[in-house]
Chain A
Amino acid sequence: MATLKLIITSKVNLTLKYGSQFTAVKQLFTKLIAADKNRKITTKVVYIDDATSAKSFGVSSVKKVKEKECKDFVDALYKKKKPAYMVIFGAQDIFPFQELTNNVYKPNDDDDKTVPSDLPYACDSPYSKKISAFVNPVRVVGRIPDIPGTTDLSYLKLLFNNIIAQKPKPLADYEKYFAVTAFVWENSTQQSINNIFGNYAGLMNSPPAKGGYSKKQLGALSHFYNCHGGLLDVNYYGQKGADYPVALKSKDVTNKISYGTVVAAECCYGAQLMDPATDGFSIASSYLQNNALSFMGSSTIAYGPAKGQGLADLICQYFMINVHACASAGRALLEARQKFLNACGPYLDPYELKTLAQFYILGDPSLQLVEDVKSKDVSNTVENRRLNLFSKGISIGQSVAPSEKVKTITKTKHKSDVSSILSETGFKKNLSESVYEAHFSSKTTGEMKKAMQGGKTRFRTYQKSKKKQKGLLNIEVLVVKENDEQVLGYRVYVSR
């Protein structure tokens, strides 16, 4: 039985954008379908807004290519066909991201009103604006993007030809890495790089790293960034004190990276797709244009913990580790999401939820970059893995309790304990407070389960600023976890 891969896109939007060149786009689909056949993958194209196309898959077409319609369509399609891979084709002007409500939105603080996300397409939950509705990822989903606002057929041809030509390479090839971190996050990134590659000797700090890397440096097949990034910005930035040098320019990778490169970028807005005519050519688009095959990054402002590892550190390193463990790029992301939920759960604070939603992959999710180590003793079909991942995802969804922001803030019952934590972590007592509540379903049965999971768990968040050198401020977020009985713990997330 051949493995099924569905390419989902909008005929109307492609026709509007590409005009007479739409025929050439369809020819690229045809070439990919033929190439996938040799990989024992049956690939089909589904036009969400074409009645004939949709009907041939047993689903109804949509009248408008809007978020809800797209989510409903993808769900219906998945139920009918249970594909191993779902490929969204096109940037956000062809097929929308799901714009989820950002629960930590606060003007001049976290300015992202929404989190553009592909997570809902991967989840077994109906359409919603809430990130908390999507804590059960079960599907392998990725996006082959074109360039927003721009009709560039040569770009698409290059992406498709790269996908078609791809063959898995030995792990040793992907163990060579290019990694850059903002100097201030050196220790955290060393841990991430060590977890992935078993050493961090090749990790570069920025500063002193300031772009302009050699072809030899950028030629490594695995790339990892833990730098600053900005909305509609074509650069990543390092940091040491008040010095924020450009750590990578979009054009730095031009003609310098190797075919088959995989990227994980923790940076804020690290995987944003921009219209070159108005905003510049994004780093993600530049990587794909220069023969990278998979780019994993964030749509919005990303977070990390004060010390050690957490949030963006985790989901990015999980992805890269999974790629190295011979997973397809799409499965690498799905398993990273599941592992992230297991690591953070069962109670999910609002920063963990934002992290889960904001990372996506660009590139064909069916590409397995690292070749399997053949074994006579073990055999596992793609379909068996999908069944397992579906069950795991459903199970995870039932085992976590995502938090929601409460409108009316109730005072803590543990004033003395919270005061002590504020004092110990250097936070003042008069800081503004936000409260998020998480609880398991009211259907929870069994006396012990009710006793352990019946009540509400609250996250109280506080922010403070601290003067650093040259007048720079460093803001920290304290998240205190409590229930009615006691304070359960706390974490500090620091601007990195």
Chain B
Amino acid sequence: MELKGKVVMKKFGKGSKSEHDAVYLETEKGDFVLRQVGANAFENTELKKLVGKEVIANGMVKDYLFLAKTIKEADQ
């Protein structure tokens, strides 16, 4: 599926063993933790470069995750 939205940084798992600054995709369908398939779930330099930008991502929603196969800036 394709989702369009804004990439933002937010805290994930406050007070838990998986707490970290996570990259989220804010969309009209809700906010999802954005993760590239096969990438480090806790540290992703490439995704962090997209923070603040509108993107179009292709992949699948799993619970609160959006597992992205491709991500491109919306204005490209």
- How far apart sit A244 and B43, CA to CA, in the bound complex (Å)? 6
- How far apart sit A302 and B42, CA to CA, in the bound complex (Å)? 16
Q: Mark B35-76, 1 if CB is under 8 A from A, else 0.
A: 100001111000000000000000010111101000000000
A residues less than 8 Å from B19 (CB atoms) = 474-475, 495-496
- With contact pairs A231-B64, A232-B67, A235-B41 given, residues A244 and B14 touching in the complex (Cβ less than 8 Å): no
Q: Mark B1-45, 1 if CB is under 8 A from A, else 0.
A: 000000000111111111111001000000101010000111100
Contact B40 A237, beta carbon cutoff 8 Å: yes
A residues less than 8 Å from B31 (CB atoms) = 107-108
Contact A268 B42, beta carbon cutoff 8 Å: no
Contact A268 B20, beta carbon cutoff 8 Å: no
- How far apart sit A109 and B24, CA to CA, in the bound complex (Å)? 12
- How far apart sit A267 and B13, CA to CA, in the bound complex (Å)? 12
Is A472 an interface residue, CB under 8 A from the partner? Answer: yes
The size of the chain A interface, using a CB distance under 8 A, is 44
Contact A495 B17, beta carbon cutoff 8 Å: yes
Contact A111 B42, beta carbon cutoff 8 Å: no
Q: Closest B-chain residue to A496, C-beta based? A: B17
Contact B14 A110, beta carbon cutoff 8 Å: yes
Contact A228 B40, beta carbon cutoff 8 Å: no
> How many CB-defined contacts (below 8 Å) exist between A and B?
109
Q: Mark A378-407, 1 if CB is under 8 A from B, else 0.
A: 000000000000000000000000000000
- With contact pairs A109-B13, A279-B62, A495-B13 given, residues A230 and B18 touching in the complex (Cβ less than 8 Å): yes
Is A266 an interface residue, CB under 8 A from the partner? Answer: yes
B residues less than 8 Å from A158 (CB atoms) = none
Is A457 an interface residue, CB under 8 A from the partner? Answer: no
A residues less than 8 Å from B35 (CB atoms) = 230
| Selected contact of A108 from candidates B10, B20, B42, B62, CB within 8 Å | B10
Contact A301 B62, beta carbon cutoff 8 Å: no
- With contact pairs A233-B41, A235-B40, A237-B40 given, residues A108 and B24 touching in the complex (Cβ less than 8 Å): yes
- With contact pairs A110-B16, A266-B17 given, residues A475 and B11 touching in the complex (Cβ less than 8 Å): yes
Contact B67 A268, beta carbon cutoff 8 Å: no
Is A347 an interface residue, CB under 8 A from the partner? Answer: no
- How far apart sit A483 and B56, CA to CA, in the bound complex (Å)? 51
Q: Give residues 166-199 of A contacting B (CB, 8 Å).
A: none
B residues less than 8 Å from A360 (CB atoms) = none
Contact A246 B40, beta carbon cutoff 8 Å: yes
| Selected contact of B13 from candidates A111, A246, A312, CB within 8 Å | A111
Is A76 an interface residue, CB under 8 A from the partner? Answer: no
A-B contacts, 29 of them at CB < 8 A, read: A107-B31, A108-B10, A108-B31, A110-B15, A110-B16, A111-B12, A111-B33, A111-B64, A228-B42, A229-B17, A230-B18, A231-B33, A235-B40, A237-B43, A244-B42, A301-B18, A302-B16, A303-B15, A303-B16, A303-B17, A465-B14, A472-B20, A475-B19, A477-B14, A495-B13, A495-B14, A495-B18, A495-B19, A495-B20
**A-B CB proximity, top 10 nearest:** A495-B19, A477-B15, A244-B42, A268-B18, A230-B41, A475-B14, A244-B43, A111-B64, A301-B16, A109-B14
Sample of 20 further A-B pairs with CB below 8 A, known A232-B62, A232-B63, A477-B15 = A106-B14, A107-B31, A107-B64, A110-B16, A111-B33, A111-B64, A230-B35, A232-B67, A244-B40, A267-B18, A278-B60, A301-B13, A302-B16, A302-B17, A303-B16, A463-B14, A475-B11, A475-B15, A477-B14, A494-B15
Chain A positions within 8 Å of B, measured between CB atoms, are 106-111, 226, 228-233, 235, 237, 239, 242-244, 246, 266-269, 278-279, 301-304, 312, 463, 465, 471-477, 493-496
